[in-house]
Amino acid sequence: MPVFNLNNIPPESNGPPEQPLIMLVDDEIENLNVMRQLLAADFQIITALSGCEAIDIINHMEDANKIQLVISDQRMPKMSGVEFLEQVAEKLPDTIRIILSAYSDTQVVIDSINKAEIYKFMTKPFDPAELSLTVKRGVEAFQMGQQLIEYSTRLEKLVVERTQALHRKNEQLLEALNTLERLSLSDQLTGAYNRYFLDKFMPQEISQFKRNKKRYSGKKGYFGIIMIDIDHFKKVNDSYGHGAGDKLLIGFTQMLQNNCREEDWVVRWGGEEFVIIARELSLTGLQRLAERLRVKIATKPFDLGCGQQVPKTCSMGLVSFPFIKHNFNALTWQQTLNLADLALYLAKNNGRNTWVSLFDNKLIQDENLYENIMNNLKTLIGNNLVCYHTPHPGEQLTFNDIKHG
């Protein structure tokens, strides 16, 4: 019976990790059997009776790079161990190579080091414990080398990507940074942007708009802000559990993202509240966006899993930034966002499944402007200094206990 058969090479497996694969080459079958018995418990083993046979095996393997270590006798017919391992070094440069010799030949040692680049030269008869330990350490060296190669490849790729990004234009660089930081700037559950994203990039966007404000017409707002709240969200958690509530939040986020423009930001503000930042959108365009979202959300049930679906509606508050046209300094964007929250409160206070848009109508600016709006909105609306709009023209709002939520 032959010592080696190609059909005996262990097949690929999806089971537990395979033992490291090593190759033993010796023209004396007794030596092969001794080494096999010594190493079989810890390694998969391929054997060959000559260097020529071993090279043929390597050439016919589907993936010879899986051979992590080769042990070869030195004195063999037709091809010496050094000659064999020299070919192995060319075909499998990462494989660990060990040579055995029963002869004290200085030239063999020199050739092994210079030509075959061996890991270790061992003499026969070998100490079983020493051989076993040498093989284990050699396999560990191979595996560490593979990890270093993988790490180096990833690092080189990362350096190339970073170098390319550095040569992009400023706007392309900002876009790249947004992409690179998306994981840390997004909500883990829904994938929407989070508050930190808004705090980080909104000031940058406003600064850019200020520098280029001549580009924008008087009819277009600089930023449209929509504050959104899922109506009666708590009932879903109470009736179906928090897992169902999470699925609703994910589906709701996807609904917003699918119906907003690519350049719009969808931000999970907290709980069941979301913020949409729509750049370069007129107030009329912002209202159309809000109505489209309201209808889409109200007409499509949300999947809660396990065959459960639930219809949902939402309430929205809309404002444009700057709230006073052509005056960025009248209110900060955070204060303007609070006005959107106030408009959201009005929408919720007036039946839900609706939106309320607040906008300036020749509001007089003073140092207490923000406090005046927050505390006296009903009066300002009554005096026609602040106006509102809802989905149904002529609809009158109910101002019950207006307060910033």
Looking at residue 124, which CATH number applies to its domain? Answer: 3.40.50.2300
Domain shared by 59 and 194, yes or no:
no
- Please say if the pLDDT value at position 258 is more than 80: yes
Is 395 a domain residue? no
Boundaries of domain holding 293: 185-389
Is 173 a domain residue? no
Domain shared by 211 and 325, yes or no:
yes
- Please say if the pLDDT value at position 211 is more than 70: yes
Domain shared by 243 and 367, yes or no:
yes
Domain shared by 41 and 124, yes or no:
yes
pLDDT at residue 4, as a whole number: 46
pLDDT at residue 161, as a whole number: 80
Domain shared by 346 and 261, yes or no:
yes
Question: 127, 149, 171 — which closes off a domain?
Answer: 149
Contact call for residues 293 and 347 (beta carbons, < 8 A)? no
Number of H helices, E strands in the chain: 13, 13
Domain shared by 197 and 140, yes or no:
no
Domain CATH number, residue 364: 3.30.70.270
Domain shared by 255 and 305, yes or no:
yes
pLDDT tens per residue across span 37-75 = 999 999 999 999 999 999 999 999 999 999 999 999 988
Higher pLDDT, 168 or 41: 41
Is 325 a domain residue? yes
Q: Report the sign of the C-alpha dihedral through residues 77, 80, 83, 88, in that order.
A: positive
Which of 120-124, 267-271, 363-367, 401-405 shows the highest mean pLDDT?
267-271
Spatial separation of the C-alpha atoms in residues 308 and 324, rounded to whole Å: 46
Higher pLDDT, 121 or 53: 53
Mean pLDDT (the chain, rounded): 85
Rg of the chain, C-alpha, whole Å: 36
- Residue 302's CB is within 10 A of a number of other CB atoms, namely 21
pLDDT tens per residue across span 361-381 = 888 778 888 998 899 888 888
Q: How many domains does the chain have?
A: 2
Higher pLDDT, 176 or 314: 314
Domain shared by 191 and 110, yes or no:
no
**pTM exceeds 0.75 for this model:** no
**CA separation (Å) from 227 to 288, 324, 338, 359?**
15, 19, 9, 15
Domain shared by 138 and 50, yes or no:
yes
pLDDT at residue 169, as a whole number: 66
Is 155 a domain residue? no
pLDDT at residue 387, as a whole number: 86
pLDDT tens per residue across span 287-311 = 999 999 999 999 999 999 888 899 9
Contact call for residues 226 and 343 (beta carbons, < 8 A)? no
pLDDT at residue 1, as a whole number: 38
Query: Which strand (E) or helix (H) includes residue 69?
Result: strand 67-73
Is 379 a domain residue? yes
Provide the H-helix boundaries in 212-323.
Answer: 233-240, 242-259, 283-299
Domain shared by 267 and 365, yes or no:
yes
Is 367 a domain residue? yes
Cross-strand bridge partners of residue 404: none
Domain shared by 189 and 143, yes or no:
no
pLDDT grade for 177, boundaries at 50, 70 and 90 = low
pLDDT at residue 124, as a whole number: 85
Question: 124, 149, 174 — which closes off a domain?
Answer: 149
Is 332 a domain residue? yes
- Please say if the pLDDT value at position 2 is more than 80: no
pLDDT grade for 33, boundaries at 50, 70 and 90 = very high
Domain shared by 135 and 209, yes or no:
no
Is 170 a domain residue? no
